[in-house]
A and B are shown apart, each in its own frame.
Chain A
Amino acid sequence: AQSVSQHNHHVILSEAASLELGCNYSYGGTVNLFWYVQYPGQHLQLLLKYFSGDPLVKGIKGFEAEFIKSKFSFNLRKPSVQWSDTAEYFCAVNAPGGSYIPTFGRGTSLIVHP
């Protein structure tokens, strides 16, 4: 079964700082990878996804993530964060071995100070 590790549980940044949130998964085969975000008071929503092709994927609001197969990683990045990026970020992975059911990481709480 696949598992997902998010190493940073709490991140505090100032506006305009660069962001990188780590995500590692354990599964040896083909995977689909996701980042979901939950803004305060809102539902979990998809930020970006990787199924195949270019390992650098771009999502909403200037976020991007890079799939590095050799490192089993799918780190989330943003060059310059804004106060409105304050949210909980979840990495998720699913694999064709089961029913493509996403397994989520524990989440990273990001606070951006204005």
Chain B
Amino acid sequence: ETGVTQSPTHLIKTRGQQVTLRCSSQSGHNTVSWYQQALGQGPQFIFQYYREEENGRGNFPPRFSGLQFPNYSSELNVNALELDDSALYLCASSLGGGARSGANVLTFGAGSRLTVL
């Protein structure tokens, strides 16, 4: 089975620019979650998509937005980049959109490291 793949692996942007990060979920998984991991911190939940709908959102401003496509792949878009947006952005896929057993055992990608100058 294929794992979670993310692109690009590294990118550099300047303040005010916009960025799009992409994620292909593991085969058979229908739910995608996005996390932001700052240096020395644990992953912070941004949002989750299930059946192409946002299924939960963390404490991130509206300039963080996302999409899920019919093939369960996903995009994270960040507008008006700020210096504090510099972080590793992790995509994780899972099976199920809320059922207790097995759901939200996350399979992570390698991440996209964003640097904002």
On A, residues with C-beta under 8 Å from B are: 4, 6, 32, 34, 36, 43-46, 49, 51, 90, 94, 96, 98-107
Kindly name the residue among B4, B42, B43, B101 whose own CB sees the greatest number of chain A CB atoms within 10 A: B42
Q: Are A43 and B109 in contact (CB under 8 A)?
A: yes
Residue of B whose beta carbon sits closest to that of A94 = B104
Q: With A43-B3, A46-B105, A99-B56 known to touch, is A104 a contact of B100 (CB < 8 Å)?
A: no
A106 adjacent to B41 (CB under 8 Å): yes
Give the A-B pair count, Cβ closer than 8 A.
63
Taking the nearest CB of chain B, how far is it from the CB of A102, in angstroms? Answer: 6
Interface size on B, residues (CB 8 A): 31
A51 and B100 in contact, given A34-B105, A46-B105 (Cβ under 8 angstroms): yes
Given contacts A43-B3, A44-B90, A105-B42, contact A100 B101 (CB under 8 A): no
Which B residues touch A4, using CB under 8 A? 42
Chain B residues 85-105 with CB under 8 Å of chain A are 90, 92, 97-101, 103-105
Q: Which residues of A contact B103 (CB under 8 A)?
A: 100
Assembly CA distance A90 to B92 (angstroms): 15
B94 CB → nearest A CB, Å: 9
Task: Tell me if B33 counts as interface (CB < 8 A to partner A).
Answer: yes
- Is B108 positioned at the interface, with any CB of A under 8 Å from its CB? yes
Contacting pair B45 A32 (CB below 8 A): no
**8 closest cross-chain pairs (CB), A and B:** A104-B42, A99-B56, A44-B108, A100-B104, A106-B42, A104-B43, A43-B108, A107-B42
Residue pair B56, A101 in contact (C-beta under 8 Å): yes
Q: B44 contacts which chain A residues (CB < 8 A)?
A: 104
Set B41, B58, B100, B106: member contacting A107, Cβ < 8 A: B41
* A100 contacts B100, C-beta separation under 8 Å: yes
Q: Residue-by-residue, is B36-62 near A (CB-CB < 8 Å gives 1, otherwise 0)?
A: 000011111100101000011010000
